[in-house]
Structure 1
Amino acid sequence: MSVVSFNKEKIMQNSEQAAKAMPAKQAKPVVAVVSPLSATATAATPASKKAGAWAAMAKRVFEGLLPPVIGLLIFGAIWSTVAALTQGLPGPVQTWHSAVELFSDPFYINNPNDMGIGWNILNSLKRVATGFALAAIVGIPMGFIIGRYAFMSKMAAPIISLLKPVSPLAWLPIGLLVFKAANPAAIWVIFITAVWPMIINTAVGVSKVPQDYMNVAKVLNLSEWKVITKILLPYVMPYMMTGVRLSIGAAWLVIVAAEMLTGGVGIGFWVWDEWNNLNVEHIIIAIFIVGIVGLLLEQCLVMLAKRYSYE
């Protein structure tokens, strides 16, 4: 063996022994350092979020309620001032006490001409519902026909333009002459009042349907029923519901005047009867009742429109 190879082998053995004798290098443990400030912020985050949500909700409630409350207070102040300056006009407090007494027994019946306020409201709503339903049955299909066919639109235009501006109460004598009774005559006035907005708004909606939609219907060879239900109705629904809302408002407005003239049981007749008895508190109460019922009817139609909206 040569001297060079002997020395190389010896050096390798010494290196292996030195490596075995060297202790293994230990890894330093990682210690997570958490700051007290960060721990406190983390623990307080859910509570702060909850407090922020409550603050936002309180702000929305405050902004939603404050303007109406201020408006009612101003209205009450003006009413009180006018009542103090006008002899015989009751103020808010006097009217409130009368309303509490009136609604303590709203469904009494002493005789056919002396019933509680509840029966009068229900009878008026019944007449409005009947006339309104008849107007919808006639007005909405007629609006589709007028808007769909140009010939029918030109034929109906002069009739609508002539009859629509006529005051609804001008139709009452015609109703009394034809039906020979006050109740159907009042329903006739409701019908003739409510039918025009339905016809006009529905016809306008149908006329505004894009021609591209109708061209697609022709290409697909859709039947007239499919065109109405799948194309016209979804597009016309907002226009139609606007006409319905206008109709119910006008119908409830007119029924009071019609019942004043026809008599019987109803909120209009009740107002006129209270005027004959010089009971001004009840007249003011009736004004609020008419307004509240009209508002509720309109809001019901708004919810119905949103429920069946195709938008």
Structure 2
Amino acid sequence: MNNKKLPNWLYHIYGLTGLIAFFMMWWVLGLQIPEGFFQQFTLNSTLLKLIGLVQDPETYTHIAMSLKRIFIGLFYALLIGIPIGLLIGQNQKADAFSSQIFQFLRMISPLSWMPIAVMILGVGDKPIYFLLAFAAVWPIILNTATGVKNVNPQFLKLAQSLDATPLEVLRHIIWPSVLGQILVGLRLAIGIVWIVLVPSEMLGVSSGLGYFILDARDRLDYTELLSIILIIGLIGFILDRAVIFLQKRFAAV
């Protein structure tokens, strides 16, 4: 077994080659499909519809609404998850007290809460924010706590010997040490909320990519539906790359 690490440029070439191969297979399969219903799913039909959607201002309205919900959901998840992660990472009693509760809650599908969220918060954006924040908060809590536990104890002893205040320890030692782990949690959270977003937007809202898919389905425009799926995948990929860029940026500091 060859475990030699590929050069970075070669790794990206392999990735691009795999992507091209995927679309080539899709195109070849489309050539084998006879005229009829399934022609809607060929690569040629999908790309033509995708070009039309890219030129339609309504598409960007749906994208903007979905991104707004994603960012607000992630904001609340970070606002709640980082302090809790810092607390349980530094306090063994808090960690022991909360660990089983958190493990239990994080295994519940966020979409299971949808009927309760709608009943309490009403129809609209509020239940979507709740579902996204609930889905995103767990990887942020757990990765933040892991980052705190992995802080070099020698740094903490040095800070103690210099009579550093808890705020100074947090600012100058703990926070720089855990930032990378927080970004790991954020990357995982984005992957989760991007999955939860689409079905959440199929309930009680009139905009967003989830609603856009539902609308295309109701109009029986399956080529448009598949094009929207490609848009969702592309935006999710861009968000993931953005977090990876931040990870590399702060790792280099």
The TM tier, using the shorter chain, reads 0.7 to 0.9
Superposed displacement of residue 274, structure 1: 0.5
Is the 1:80–1:91 contact (alpha carbons within 8 Å) kept by the matching residues of 2?
yes
Is 1:192 matched with 2:134?
Answer: yes
Alpha-carbon spacing, 1:308–1:77, altered in 2? closer, same or farther (3 Å): closer
* Equivalent position amino acid for 1:100 in 2: I
Q: Deviations over 1:188-231 (max 9, x none)?
A: 11000110000000001101223222222221111111111111
Pair 310,221 (structure 1): closer, same or farther in 2 beyond 3 Å = farther
Provide TM-score, normalisation by structure 2.
0.88
Match of 1:99 among 24, 41, 50: 50
Instruction: Indicate conservation of the 8 Å contact 2:180/2:250, yes or no.
Output: no
Q: Distance in 1 between matches of 2:98 and 2:12?
A: 47
CA deviations on 1:244-303 (whole Å, 9 max, x unpaired) are 111122112210111123332110011011011111111111111111111111222222
TM-score of the superposed pair, with normalisation by structure 1: 0.72
Identity of aligned residues (%): 28
Matched with 1:284 is: 226
The alignment partner of 1:137 has SS state of helix
8 Å contact from structure 2 (residues 50, 228) kept in 1: no
Unaligned runs of 5+ in 1: 1-59, 108-115
Partner-residue secondary structure (3-state), 2:202: helix
Task: Give the equivalent residue in structure 2 for 1:239.
Answer: 181
Q: Contact between 1:237 and 1:310, CA under 8 Å: does it hold in 2? A: no
Aligned counterpart, 1:253: 195
Which residue, 60, 68, 77 being the options, matches 2:24?
A: 77
CA deviation profile, 1:81-140 (whole Å, cap 9, x unmatched): 444347424211111211222222x22xxxxxxxx1111111000111111101111101
Q: Structure 2 residue aligned with 1:213, among 155, 167, 176?
A: 155
> 2:216 aligned to 274, 278, 282, which one?
274
Contact 1:124/1:255 (<8 A) preserved: yes
2:220 aligns to what SS in structure 1?
A: coil
Which amino acid in 2 is paired with 1:133?
A: F
1:90 to 36, 41, 49: 41
The question of 1:293 aligning with 2:235 is answered: yes
Instruction: Sort the Cα spacing of 1:274 and 1:156 in 2 relative to 1 into closer, same or farther, 3 A.
Output: same
SS at match of 1:308: helix
Task: Pick from 81, 84, 88 the counterpart of residue 139 of structure 1.
Answer: 81
Structure 1 runs of 4+ aligned residues shifted over 4 Å read 63-66
Aligned residue among 82, 99, 123 for 1:157 = 99
- Note if contact 1:198-1:240 (Cα within 8 Å) is conserved in structure 2: yes
Cα distance change, pair 119–152 in 1 and its aligned pair in 2 (3 A):
same
Residues paired across the two proteins, number:
242
Q: Which residue of 2 aligns with 1:11?
A: none
Counterpart-to-counterpart distance in 1, 2:172 and 2:80: 21
1:80 positional shift: 3.0
Per the TM alignment, residue 65 of structure 1 is displaced from its structure 2 partner at its CA by: 7.2
Q: CA RMSD in A?
A: 2.1
Q: Write the distance in 2 (CA, Å) between the matches of 1:265 and 1:257.
A: 13
Higher relative contact order (CA 8 A, sep 6+): 2
* Higher-Rg member (1/2): 1
